[in-house]
Homo-oligomer: A and B are copies of this chain.
Amino acid sequence: MIELRSMPTACGERRRDQACSQCGARALSICNSLDGADLQRLDALAERASFAAGEALIREGDEARNVFNITSGSVRVFKLLADGRRQITGFLFAGDFVGLATGDTYVFSAEAIEPVTACRFRKAEYRNMIRECPSLETALLERATHELAAAQNQMLLLGRKTATERIASFLLDLPAHDLARPMPAGHVHLPMSRSEIADYLGLTIETVSRVLSRLKTQGLLKLASLNEVVVMQPRKLRALAEGDI
């Protein structure tokens, strides 16, 4: 048992009062939506877990026993085809929930990209929790709806955008998800590898690398390091992302 309330980030605290660019919702963190008594009850049910880089929180096909709330680090959520082709359907950061699938088995996998800490809830207990704390359900519905809006944007990206538009959209959207990590304006931290970016955007690593190089040559970006991009011309990048060209 961990005293979540004594640790500001333990239940996935995120910056408050920032409207989501994809669905317009505010106060998306579960923490922000619940009152003290509810958080206390969550507290009693939470078990802390940590994962090394590459370790799995959730494996597709396993019995769905747990729900996690990420408290630090970053996670890749993905599905595989039989021959190994991988689609990363999302990256998760502090404050995100994972494992809310309705069925008896997980329908996706989730692995730590960098060292991760999380609160684990047994799914059985989690159901009791919902019964006692209806506002949790409201908060989860809001988050699910938000993720659905994000998924629609991603489908638009995967189905209809060019490689350049995909990379531009990605660089502009990423900071909105990773709110726990404070970055100077214009700086984007990439905890994931090129191969993970490629599998998220439906491209190959070579194309990701080429497009980043071209955007750099064109002066839209600087590559401060492998894992840090500085957006030099956000207007132009936004125009590229929307296909306005």
Contact = CB atoms under 8 A, between A and B. Distances in A.
A205 to B, nearest CB: 14
B160 A104 contact: no
Interface stretch (A17-25, A49-57, A117-125): A17-25
A140 B134 CA distance: 14
A149 interface: yes
A23 B22 CA distance: 24
Interface in A136-168: 137-138, 140-142, 144-149, 151-156, 158-161
Nearest to A100: B145
A215 interface: no
Interface stretch (A2-10, A34-42, A83-91, A180-188): A83-91
Nearest to A245: B83
A80 to B, nearest CB: 8
Contacts of A137: 134, 137-138, 141
A158 B100 contact: no
The oligomer's copy count stands at: 2
Contacts of A22: 107
A107 B159 contact: no
A126 to B, nearest CB: 12
B153 A79 contact: yes
The CB with the most chain B CB atoms within 10 A, among A156, A158, A202, is that of A156
Interface in A210-245: 242-245
A79 B159 CA distance: 11
A83 B25 contact: no
A156 B102 contact: no
A108 interface: yes
Contact of A85 (B25, B100, B243): B243
A163 B244 CA distance: 27
A202 B155 CA distance: 9
Given A100-B145, A102-B146, A159-B202, 12 more contacts: A19-B103, A23-B101, A24-B101, A25-B102, A81-B242, A85-B160, A101-B149, A102-B149, A107-B152, A137-B141, A141-B141, A144-B148
